[in-house]
Structure 1
Amino acid sequence: MSLKDLEIQPSYETLEGADPVNGFYVPALAESVEYDRSVGFFSSASLALAARGVAGLIHNRGKMRLVVSPHLSERDVAIIRQAESNPESVIESIMSEVLMDVDALADEIEHDHVRALGWMLANGYLELRIACVIDENGDILQDQLFHQKVGILRDAEGYALSFSGSINETASGWLFNSEEFKVFKSWDEGQRGFFESDERKFSELWNNQRERVMTFEPKGSLSSLLVAEGKDFDIECSSLAKTRAARNMKRISLFPYQREAFKTWRCHEGQLLFEMATGTGKTRTALACVQDLLIAKPKLVCVIATPQSTLSRQWEREVSALGLKFDTSIFADSSAGTSASWASSIRAALGRIAIGIDESLIVYTTHASAANELFIKAIEGADPSLAVCLVGDEVHGMGSREQRKALLERYTYRIGLSATPSRWFDEEGSALLRSYFGGQSFEFTIKDAQETVNPLAGETFLCPYQYHLETVELSDDEAEKFDRLTKQIAKLSHQDDDAARERLDQLLRKRALIKKNAVAKLDGLDALLDHIEHEDLLVFTSPQRIDEVESILGRHGVAAHRFTQQQGTRPKREFGGLSERDYLIKMFKEGVLQALVAIKCLDEGIDIPQAKSAILLSSSTNPREYVQRVGRVIRRSPGKNLAHIYDFVVVPDWSRLELYGDIESERRLFNQELVRIEDMRKNAVNSTDVLIKMRGLLGRAYGD
């Protein structure tokens, strides 16, 4: 490759969709052995970015000639004029003070890159000149910048090009400002004259041959400071070689089934659904895949999308615990901050990667925020050279009509995690998810995890559990309301207009609430608490009954707290810097709280392996809901050898239905409940006992 082989545009304008960094600057430098550059003004940021920008030039052992112009105040000029015999030394001293303020750089450029310049200067790879604007008498002018901005690149084959225009050698200049510059090629007959003009201007400037400009070589405090900065610089160990170091990163250890999942993901070109039971290490397996990309890809952006920000914090802790290092970490959660703020942070981080300042970015977000228009624009605006990976946790949620907007084609690498990725009564959404994540999946079920021994612990990966089927009946008043709604539903089910369908949905929801809120469940909970342990309880109820459930727990002396949407996700001082949700989980794990009372917030992904028992007072026939709830209590934890699930199920009064109700309709509804019971029963250690009870219920339903 040479400069002539690159696809270089005649001009670039940063705000018109062009990418001057990766479309021109980086690839051109990678082919160059000489780089001449005059910049509009001096700052430590301009020098640091120059060093980062020529990383490829350093590896080519190429040379750079750099002309910078200081911004001198009235006070600076007065001091310089007093030093008539040696004004250059005063200018260097002033510039040294600017250079030393590395920690305050607006561009937040790493200190290594200033040290790299010092290393280049000390080792003959960089020559530096300082240019000051002077008047007709040769006196230096205050607040006058030398504005010529020219760059000249030459490759080993003798081809050269120049670029000139408004752009400064700063990160904001290359990434964010509205800048324009033109490119002229030495080998193009029509452009050669423009190239030669730029070449002549730089030569005159370098050799102090321009009118109204004084150019000199720094040999005092500035060069000494730069050389001192670069004295201990090691190009092989610096941040310029982070990608090489990443290849020696210690791999995340995996169990055999996790390694199989990892290999399957690799074999399917980095796109796969992980259908793995809760508690079997989906997170660790996914992060092993992310680590693989960190090692293999020179530039990586990883987006981790979860249903709620509490889960995002869990992912952050796991990333840290496993030693994965990203240059930048951003939380993008619409519920915890303004979208414009985090969208700007993402764009800035992507820009730093594009220009070579950083190499990696991880964004923790929610499904809703990942589908946000500002988030989408930021990710789709990422430079094409960046590898971009999406990790969708509890990915079934991303199949909804609104949240599927987050499933961008820009994500080359895709990891979907869910114990139950199929969406209930949504074949379209389920098919879309499977297709988006490569059309393949790796499965490791609850049964697999209960039969596979963890070689490190000598026990199965998931804890065995007992399933306790607690049956209750509706009160007479509830039964009458239920029957009345069933008859209305039957009439509407034969109508096909939109109004009828909307009314039908309302009636179905209203009827389902009668069973979810059955008063007999409260009596059953009261009785149950008389003979079970009060430690490590998760209680799932409905919004309508949560106050009464908390009251019953309180009467039994159970220290409990609700865990709902009302418990915030923003860190607060009153919770020791945690969000209220994270604080409640912490109190539960430490045993301060004996029970958490939830509606839905604990259904997905919350890591509380200490939980030993789940009481299901309000459940639907949606497999995802009840499988997730089982998963909350069958994770392994020290001292937990057996988990318990208490499932309150409303069974019909078949005798009453034979006289007053629609028995066939009730049988169909009850069969859906039986499917749910069977799913939870089949992996329980007492499955036979529950099967006998189920047969008794069937006998009553069908008169056998």
Structure 2
Amino acid sequence: MARIVASPKLAAQDWAALRQGNDAQNDPTLHTALSRTIEELASDFTDDTLTALAWAVADGLLEFRIAIPAGDLDGDFHDKFGQFHDADGNAIAFNGSPNDSERAFRNYESISCFYSWLDERESKRVDSEVERFSRVWSNRDANVRVYPLPDAIRRNLVQFVERGPRPYRVPAASPDKAPDPKWRHQKEALTVFLERTHGILAMATGTGKTRTAIAILNELKDRDAISMAVVTMSGTDLLDQWRRELATKSPFPVYRAYAEYKEQQQFINDPRGSLLLVSRQMLPAVLARLPEAAVRDGLIICDEVHGLGSEGLARSLKGLVKPFKYRLGLSATPDREYDPEGNQFIEDEIGPVIFEFGLEDAIERGILCELDYVPLEYTLSDDDRQAIRAAIKSYHARARAGQPASPEDLYRQIATVRKSTLTKLAPFDEYLSAYPALLRRCLIFVDNKEYGVRVQELLLTVTGRFHTYFADDDREQLVTFSKGGTDCLVTCHRISEGIDIRSVNNVVLFASSRAKLETIQRLGRCLRIDDANPGKRALVVDFVESTDKSVPSDADDTDQSADEERRQWFELLAQVRRKP
């Protein structure tokens, strides 16, 4: 994907007005100037060039942001610098360059280029330029204010896709190369869905749910069976990942309605011939306003569909999903344990599970790697036992008072004690001292940020190449980890769903839910095959309460048995071998 930060074409008095405004993105001066620029493009560019530019923006291959100097600066944003990256992690950074104009070619100009692969000094120069661009792009440079391209301006540019078809295509597979049979389940899933028209594909993480869904999207479009599509899920990371996939593979221009992107109104005004990528939180408001005729000819794809069954969403989405002609749900774990109402809502609106391809299938076929399992035993402290006693006492007291809480509430309270007990730290420290290589390409899942701080104290005895990734952390830390900038990431729930980091070798589970949903998603982080590491074998380090009686006799031991059930499940999974 290409990202360009550019200065708008403005008169001096317009610059002054914008620099005094608090929200330049919504300033009519900027809109007028940018609208003039779009009109000039329409007259100055050839149809081929303008169509290519419009499709690149519509497909997400090219994104513009607008820069306005701030502080003591009163001129243009005239700095010219950038970087190019390849699939192997190499980068070229440049600083300077002439304008592409007749006058510029008569000027004395210069350009400096840096190459990341030459030596360490050159690599640091590249890193410096990359960081500089990141600061500007994310509006962290005090000397310039940067804004996303206003929705109305982007819409005006995207409309030029109507001048011609997409002028590029994704390279097709070589016709003389037969498809790899290990991926045949994707074709099988597509066939089943086309026959059923609605339902859920229960496919393990890393087995190609996204690819299968996009294949279904394209097949339906090729058959003229749909005129529009809506794709929804939760989490900016996952939405961004889908956007990158759809950028070159969607048969429709893609609009976005999540995070800072507010393009839903254009889609609602005329959804035919387009696709909306929308967050789950914004989905009810969007679906309620879509024309009925478009919905009847539409496809809706719900990734991580289990999340659709939460009480609030089920209430606001009731009756809005079912009218779609085609309804596709995706999840490695579609069942919401202990939530029959949520499961029923999902089946009513989307449909039942119509295809399954699980972890065992994927490991046997060589799609996911084999794994080793190490359970570390712990015992609860006296304080932990007292907290469990108090939870049970409160539960029974409420029942006697005629205000009973659900058993699930009690289980959650007990689980919270076990997830955050400090007695897990000692066995982890002992294991880490014996096997420090555990932290190479490792994800550590904890229950909360405070517990993560305690874990970090142990990590520092081995390495400083780790970082945290919590709700208020910079998302750049995930990017840094995915590129190998750090070896280990300590996190909670943020990357449980769908983020593709193939280089992860090891997972440490300080916190595990009673429901398998979360555990399976986290396991999927380390089971993906890594082309750069063909001999990869995953390692899962888990914490299991000692079978010695460590809680009072009146305490519910459901979570203790859940630990044991998880241990047995992992041990069976660790025995699965790839079939020749």
Q: TM-score range by the shorter chain?
A: 0.5 to 0.7
Partner residue, 2:424: 521
> Residue 505 and residue 434 in structure 1: after superposition, are their counterparts in 2 closer, same or farther (change >3 A)?
closer
- Aligned counterpart in structure 1 of residue 332 of structure 2, from 395, 419, 422: 419
Cα shift at 1:241: 8.3
Kept in 2, the 8 Å contact 1:465–1:643? The answer is: yes
Say whether 1:467 aligns with 2:410. Answer: no
Kept in 2, the 8 Å contact 1:553–1:559? The answer is: no
Distance in 2 between residues matched to 1:101 and 1:307, nearest whole Å = 37
Say whether 1:685 aligns with 2:575. Answer: yes
SS at match of 1:501: coil
Partner residue, 1:209: none
Partner residue, 1:647: 542
Kept in 2, the 8 Å contact 1:617–1:647? The answer is: yes
Cα shift at 1:609: 1.3
Say whether 1:501 aligns with 2:426. Answer: no
Deviation by residue 1:634-653 (Cα, 9 ceiling, x = unmatched): 11113152100000122364
Deviation by residue 1:206-227 (Cα, 9 ceiling, x = unmatched): xxxxxxxxxxxxxxxxxxxxxx
- Aligned counterpart in structure 1 of residue 217 of structure 2, from 278, 290, 300: 290
> Residue 507 and residue 399 in structure 1: after superposition, are their counterparts in 2 closer, same or farther (change >3 A)?
closer
Higher relative contact order (CA 8 A, sep 6+): 2
Cα shift at 1:298: 7.8
Deviation by residue 1:631-676 (Cα, 9 ceiling, x = unmatched): 111111131521000001223642x65xx5326x32x442233222
Kept in 2, the 8 Å contact 1:102–1:111? The answer is: no
Distance in 2 between residues matched to 1:413 and 1:283, nearest whole Å = 16
> Residue 461 and residue 298 in structure 1: after superposition, are their counterparts in 2 closer, same or farther (change >3 A)?
closer
Partner residue, 1:231: none
- Segment of structure 1 superposing worse, 624-633 or 424-433: 424-433
Kept in 2, the 8 Å contact 1:495–1:501? The answer is: no
SS at match of 1:587: helix
Say whether 1:277 aligns with 2:188. Answer: no
- Aligned counterpart in structure 2 of residue 391 of structure 1, from 301, 321, 332: 301
SS at match of 1:304: strand
Aligned residue identity for 2:370: P
Say whether 1:262 aligns with 2:194. Answer: no
- Aligned counterpart in structure 2 of residue 429 of structure 1, from 342, 366, 383: 342
Cα shift at 1:251: 12
Kept in 1, the 8 Å contact 2:206–2:368? The answer is: yes
SS at match of 2:356: strand
> Residue 595 and residue 267 in structure 1: after superposition, are their counterparts in 2 closer, same or farther (change >3 A)?
same
Aligned residue identity for 2:405: R
Deviation by residue 1:290-323 (Cα, 9 ceiling, x = unmatched): 11122122863222112211101111222235x3
What percentage of residue pairs aligned between the two structures are identical? 24
> Residue 509 and residue 428 in structure 1: after superposition, are their counterparts in 2 closer, same or farther (change >3 A)?
closer
Aligned residue identity for 2:537: L
> Residue 686 and residue 528 in structure 1: after superposition, are their counterparts in 2 closer, same or farther (change >3 A)?
farther
Residues 555-566 of structure 1 aligned to structure 2 (within 5 Å)? 555-566=461-472
SS at match of 1:588: helix
Cα shift at 1:596: 1.2
SS at match of 2:504: coil
Kept in 1, the 8 Å contact 2:364–2:576? The answer is: no
Partner residue, 2:496: 603
Partner residue, 1:42: none
- Aligned counterpart in structure 1 of residue 525 of structure 2, from 616, 632, 636: 632
Cα shift at 1:584: 2.3
Distance in 2 between residues matched to 1:522 and 1:542, nearest whole Å = 13
Kept in 1, the 8 Å contact 2:202–2:353? The answer is: no
Residues 610-621 of structure 1 aligned to structure 2 (within 5 Å)? 610-621=503-514
Cα shift at 1:331: 1.6
> Residue 240 and residue 445 in structure 1: after superposition, are their counterparts in 2 closer, same or farther (change >3 A)?
same
Partner residue, 1:590: 483
- Segment of structure 1 superposing worse, 421-430 or 526-535: 526-535
Distance in 2 between residues matched to 1:434 and 1:399, nearest whole Å = 9
Deviation by residue 1:244-270 (Cα, 9 ceiling, x = unmatched): x99x998996821111111001111x2
Distance in 1 between residues matched to 2:522 and 2:433, nearest whole Å = 23
Kept in 1, the 8 Å contact 2:220–2:226? The answer is: no
Partner residue, 2:257: 332
- Aligned counterpart in structure 2 of residue 481 of structure 1, from 364, 381, 387: 387
Deviation by residue 1:56-102 (Cα, 9 ceiling, x = unmatched): xxxxxxxxxxxxxxxxxxxxxxxxxxxxxxxxxxxxxxxxxx9x957
Partner residue, 2:444: 539
RMSD (Å) for aligned C-alpha atoms: 3.5
SS at match of 1:682: helix
Partner residue, 1:84: none
Larger Rg: 1
Aligned residue identity for 1:529: L
Cα shift at 1:441: 1.4
> Residue 438 and residue 486 in structure 1: after superposition, are their counterparts in 2 closer, same or farther (change >3 A)?
closer
Aligned residue identity for 2:266: S
Partner residue, 2:244: 317
Question: TM-score, length-normalised on structure 2?
Answer: 0.65
> Residue 686 and residue 319 in structure 1: after superposition, are their counterparts in 2 closer, same or farther (change >3 A)?
closer
Distance in 2 between residues matched to 1:386 and 1:102, nearest whole Å = 39
> Residue 438 and residue 242 in structure 1: after superposition, are their counterparts in 2 closer, same or farther (change >3 A)?
farther
Distance in 2 between residues matched to 1:292 and 1:102, nearest whole Å = 38
Deviation by residue 1:349-381 (Cα, 9 ceiling, x = unmatched): 52xx4xxxxxx212222211212x2x1233x22
Residues 1-400 of structure 1 aligned to structure 2 (within 5 Å)? 103=41, 255-268=183-196, 270-297=197-224, 300-321=227-248, 323-326=249-252, 328-333=253-258, 335-336=259-260, 341-350=262-271, 353=272, 360-371=273-284, 373=285, 375-378=286-289, 380-381=290-291, 383-384=293-294, 387-400=297-310
Kept in 2, the 8 Å contact 1:293–1:300? The answer is: no
Distance in 2 between residues matched to 1:343 and 1:102, nearest whole Å = 26
Aligned residue identity for 1:538: L
Distance in 2 between residues matched to 1:324 and 1:505, nearest whole Å = 42
SS at match of 1:443: strand
SS at match of 2:384: helix
- Aligned counterpart in structure 2 of residue 441 of structure 1, from 329, 335, 354: 354
Partner residue, 1:676: 566
Say whether 1:451 aligns with 2:364. Answer: yes
Question: TM-score, length-normalised on structure 1?
Answer: 0.54
Aligned residue identity for 1:266: L
Kept in 2, the 8 Å contact 1:249–1:295? The answer is: no
Kept in 1, the 8 Å contact 2:375–2:544? The answer is: yes
> Residue 467 and residue 294 in structure 1: after superposition, are their counterparts in 2 closer, same or farther (change >3 A)?
same
Partner residue, 2:77: none
SS at match of 1:368: coil
Distance in 2 between residues matched to 1:491 and 1:384, nearest whole Å = 54
Distance in 2 between residues matched to 1:538 and 1:389, nearest whole Å = 35
SS at match of 2:267: helix
Distance in 1 between residues matched to 2:500 and 2:231, nearest whole Å = 17
Kept in 2, the 8 Å contact 1:558–1:595? The answer is: no
Distance in 2 between residues matched to 1:673 and 1:646, nearest whole Å = 13
> Residue 594 and residue 299 in structure 1: after superposition, are their counterparts in 2 closer, same or farther (change >3 A)?
same
> Residue 523 and residue 551 in structure 1: after superposition, are their counterparts in 2 closer, same or farther (change >3 A)?
same
> Residue 104 and residue 647 in structure 1: after superposition, are their counterparts in 2 closer, same or farther (change >3 A)?
same
Distance in 2 between residues matched to 1:267 and 1:467, nearest whole Å = 40
Partner residue, 1:402: 312
> Residue 315 and residue 436 in structure 1: after superposition, are their counterparts in 2 closer, same or farther (change >3 A)?
same
